[in-house]
Structure 1
Amino acid sequence: MKLHIAALALLAAFSTPAAAQSDDPYAPGRAIVADIGKIVTPNGVQETFEVTLGGARQIVNVRGSDRDNPILIFVHGGPGAVEMPFAWVFQRPWEDVFTVVQYDQRGAGRSYPLNDPATLAPTMTPERYRDDAIELIELLKKRYAKRKVVLMGHSWGSIVGLSVAVKRPDLLYAYVGVGQGIDFREGEKAGMAWTRAKALAAGDMTAVAAIDALAPYPQGEFTIAKADGWRKYAIPYGSLIYNKPDLKYYFQTPRLSPEYTPADVQAWGKGSAFSVTTLWPRLADVSFNSVRKMDVPLVFLLGRHDYTVPSPVAADWFGQVEAPSKTLVWLEHSAHMPMVEEPGHFFAALLRDVLPLTGTKEKK
């Protein structure tokens, strides 16, 4: 649920003539970032490889300073908004205590060109993404000789992650929800109401009228065009990144990513448009409101100002659900991207509230 329109903007930024791309002015910067981030510890791991999950080829990136550390898998948002090209900004400290896994989901990012979209489209359901994640966990457990993993879901990825936690709690030390979605229609309703109130207070009657014109959404037809129709007004009020309405520099972050070339970023833009357009209508009735008991420890890291996927909806559900242990952490100066907005506080929460749930290092 990290914005489709943002991905399209980034795609446009990279849509330069081939001759200009061949010069690639960002290549020296990427080389510096790659050198700084290189894993050099004797027992470290730094690799990118292809796997087939549910019949779809997908790209996986694994980084960590000690492969005996517990695995943390990040399930990215969107649908189609990969995190791999952004991770260099915030992930490096995590890699000292976790082996961190990023993967580009079916139809997304570097995985998008590996599969025929027409063949892939019918498979793109919430259940298939959940089962892809389960297959990946099983594969990683075997590859790195682990018993369990920590699963972190962000935005759309939190739907995938929480679904895994419901179906296969035995695979997880803990589930960590960031920008956690609970009920799609309820979340859209809350986000629209917040944005309309902000616009009304600011005297922006154009925005108010545009939001009102989306009715009866989020009831009825459920399309990404309608979802973007209100979110484009929410971003300037800080629904995505708190107190930062201009996101230009954040969305240029992939230009310096060692994991993504300009061609990869273009694939991300195309994959994001494909994924979110295909999958969004299938999410209308996804809800965890009937789930009242979980069999895995829960940690929610929520931005206090998140109205892209409204955090009050997640907090209400969290307060009612039963689990072996529960920890809710509010990131007070964050919206939907707390790992970027408050990286220190976010990492501190991982150390304090998540790492202890894994016990000691798992020696081979």
Structure 2
Amino acid sequence: MGPDNKKYYTIAQYVDDADKVVDQLKKEYPGKKIVLLGHSWGGMLSSSYLKDAARRDKITAWIYAAGLQNGTTMQETTIADLNTEADARIAADQNINEWEIVKNELSENPSLATANKFAYSVTNMIPEVLIKVSNTTDFKFTTRAISSNAALFEEITKTNNNPVLKNVTMPCLILWGKYDFAVSKTYEKEFLANIASKNVTAIDFNASGHYMMFHEPELFAKSVINFTTAL
């Protein structure tokens, strides 16, 4: 809710808003544990939230679902992952023409816009991803969501929160789709290499792209329930 105004679309504003939500939850549900869950750019938001020690103290655990804590290499990792997958599929004689189109467009216009266009759509060409999901037909982004995403991306691609992770000691659950090209599994490796917590569970979704909660909903729900129940 609220005005569609670019001045409000900053990481700092979203962190402040999130903190107000956390404080309200603590007020409404005293004594309850709060688990922070961030998916996609929610990884940037949640890792930014956890920069502050006082805010970390409010959170019991962190669920990191294909989060982007380092936007500075997003374009290159997405393009590299797409090219690697295209080469493998072409070598396996699968949808050769379509994968060659992907490679050619990425070569001719190696931009984040081109990479993002294919990052989601190529999962429809991957037979291992059993449930196909479209972010244009299966669910809709509001006009305000599109505006905020566009405004935030400029800041996200300049932000690396890997150094924040050395201060995070709470239990963590890491969830990632094997065929996630929107947020590369490179960031899962960076997360695991930098996180200070000794209680980290990583679960791979081998039939998923970026939206593992839609591609493999039962595994996603079971993973979250098991993790939170054990806290």
TM score, norm. by length of structure 1: 0.54
Candidates 266, 285, 288, aligned match of 2:161: 288
State the shift of 1:244 in Å: 5.9
CA distance in 2, matches of 1:270, 1:309: 23
CA distance in 2, matches of 1:131, 1:244: 39
Name the aligned partner's letter for residue 328 of structure 1.
A
Q: Secondary structure at the match of 2:221?
A: helix
Name the aligned partner's letter for residue 305 of structure 1.
Y
- 1:299-322 CA-partner distances (Å, limit 9, x unpaired): 111112211101232233213421
Structure 2 counterpart of 1:329: 203
Structure 2 counterpart of 1:41: none
State the shift of 1:138 in Å: 0.2
Q: State whether structure 2 residue 181 is matched by structure 1 residue 303.
A: no
State the shift of 1:239 in Å: 8.6
Q: CA RMSD in A?
A: 2.7
- % identical aligned pairs: 20
Candidates 137, 149, 154, aligned match of 1:276: 149
- 1:250-276 CA-partner distances (Å, limit 9, x unpaired): 75455xxxxxxxxxx6xx431132112
CA distance in 1, matches of 2:131, 2:30: 44
CA distance in 1, matches of 2:183, 2:230: 28
Question: Cα distance 1:312–1:284, how it changes in 2: closer, same or farther (>3 A)?
Answer: closer
Candidates 209, 230, 241, aligned match of 2:115: 230
Q: State whether structure 2 residue 190 is matched by structure 1 residue 316.
A: yes
Question: Cα distance 1:330–1:207, how it changes in 2: closer, same or farther (>3 A)?
Answer: closer
Candidates 333, 345, 350, aligned match of 2:219: 345
2:120–2:209 Cα contact (<8 Å) kept: no
- In the alignment, structure 1 segments of 5+ residues that lack a partner are 1-110, 216-225, 255-264, 358-364
Name the aligned partner's letter for residue 208 of structure 1.
K
Structure 2 counterpart of 1:21: none
Name the aligned partner's letter for residue 269 of structure 1.
T
Structure 1 counterpart of 2:108: 213
Q: Secondary structure at the match of 2:201?
A: strand
CA distance in 2, matches of 1:315, 1:278: 27
CA distance in 2, matches of 1:283, 1:233: 20
- 1:297-348 CA-partner distances (Å, limit 9, x unpaired): 2111111221110123223321342115211111222221112222222222
Higher strand share: 1
Task: From the CA coordinates, give the structure whose radius of gyration is larger.
Answer: 1
Question: Cα distance 1:340–1:205, how it changes in 2: closer, same or farther (>3 A)?
Answer: closer
Q: Secondary structure at the match of 1:323?
A: coil
- In the alignment, structure 2 segments of 5+ residues that lack a partner are 91-95
> After TM superposition, what 4+ stretches of structure 1 lie above 4 angstroms from structure 2?
239-242, 250-254
List aligned pairs for 1:1-364, cutoff 5 A: 111=1, 114-115=2-3, 117=4, 120-167=5-52, 168-200=55-87, 201=90, 202-203=96-97, 204-215=99-110, 226-238=111-123, 243=129, 247-248=133-134, 251-253=136-138, 268-291=141-164, 292-357=166-231
Q: Secondary structure at the match of 1:172?
A: coil
- 1:193-251 CA-partner distances (Å, limit 9, x unpaired): 12123345335444323212334xxxxxxxxxx42312222334329996369645x75
Higher helix share: 2
